[in-house]
Amino acid sequence: MDEETLTKKLKTGTTTVGLVCSDGVILASDKRASMGYFIANKEAQKVFKIADNLAMTIAGSVGDAQTLVRLVTAEAQLFRLKNGKPMSVGAATTLLANILQNYKFYPYFVQLLVGGYDEKPRVFNLDMVGGVTEEKFVSTGSGSPMAYGLLEDAYEDNTSVKDSIPLALRALSVAMKRDCASGDGITLFTITKDGVKEYSKDEIATLTSAQKAKKPAQVK
C-alpha cells in the first residue's frame, strides 16, 4: 500500500473525548459519519458498552471499528463466564492491542479509546498498530486538535464525573464548530463503580442548556 493511499484511508472525521475523573470515566463523541465531504449518517454510534465496567470509543473506518467492538465484547463476556468476574480495563486494552499488532501489515484503520472502572478509573488510547498510552484526558479524530485546545487548559485532576461532564460537552462543542467532519449531536457515556450509563438525548440537552446558562455575560 503506497503512502498516498494510506493517507486517504486515514482521513476520517470524528471527535471523541475521554476523561478520567475521581469517581469514574467519561467517554463522549459526536454523531456524524462522513465519507470525504459527504455526510453519510447523522446518528452514528461511536461509543459502545463492552461490559458492565467497560466502554470504548471508535474513530476511523466504520467497518473495522465495528468488527473490533464485536470481538472485544464477545471476549469480555467469555472472560466473565470463565472467571466469574469482569475483564479489567487493562486486560481489554491489551487484547485489542494484540489484535491490532497482529494485523499491522494489513491494519485496522482505527483509533480507539478504552475506558472503565475496576480498581480505579482508567482510560487508554490505542493507535491502529496496537500502540497504547494511558491518559488522564484524551481526544481522537479529526476534531481532536480543537478539543485538545480546551482540554489542555481546563482539565483538572481528581474532579468528579458530575463536575467534569460540562468540560467533555464543551470540548465536543468546540470541535464540532470548527471541524466539518464532526457534528449532528453528542453521545455521552459515564463509567463508575455502579456501571456504565448512556445518557439520553433529553439528558444531554438539559446538561447543554445548563452549561449555556452559566456562561458569563459579555460586554457588547
Q: One-letter amino acid identity for 114?
A: V
- What is the residue type of 82? K
Of 12, 14, 15, 187, the catalytic one is: 14
Q: What is the pLDDT of residue 12?
A: 57
Kind plus residue range of the DSSP H or E element containing 25: strand 24-30
Given 3.60.20.10, 1.10.1740.10, 3.40.50.1860, 1.20.120.520, which CATH number is that of 3-213? Answer: 3.60.20.10
Residue 177 DSSP label: H
Residue 14 annotated to the active site: yes
Please identify every stretch of the chain with a pLDDT value under 70, giving residue numbers as ranges.
1-12, 213-220
Instruction: Point out which residues pair with 25 in neighbouring strands.
Output: 20, 191
For residue 216, the model assigns a pLDDT of: 52
- The pLDDT value recorded for residue 154 is 96
Taking the C-alpha atoms of residue 59 and residue 53, their distance in angstroms, rounded to an integer, is 21
pLDDT in tens, 136-149: 999 999 999 999 99
Residue extents of the structural domains in the chain = 3-213
**What pLDDT was estimated at residue 180?**
87
Do residues 109 and 65 make contact, with C-beta atoms less than 8 angstroms apart? Answer: no
Cell of 169: 460537552
Compute the distance between CA of residue 220 and CA of residue 16 in angstroms, rounded to an integer. 34
List C-alpha distances in Å: 157 to 112, 135, 151, 164, 186: 22, 11, 11, 10, 23
For 71-104, give one letter per residue: b (16+ CB within 10 A) or e. ebbebbeebeeeeeebbbbbebbbbbbebbeeee
**pTM of the model as a whole:** 0.89
Ranges assigned E (strand) in 90-215: 110-117, 121-126, 132-135, 137-140, 186-192, 195-198
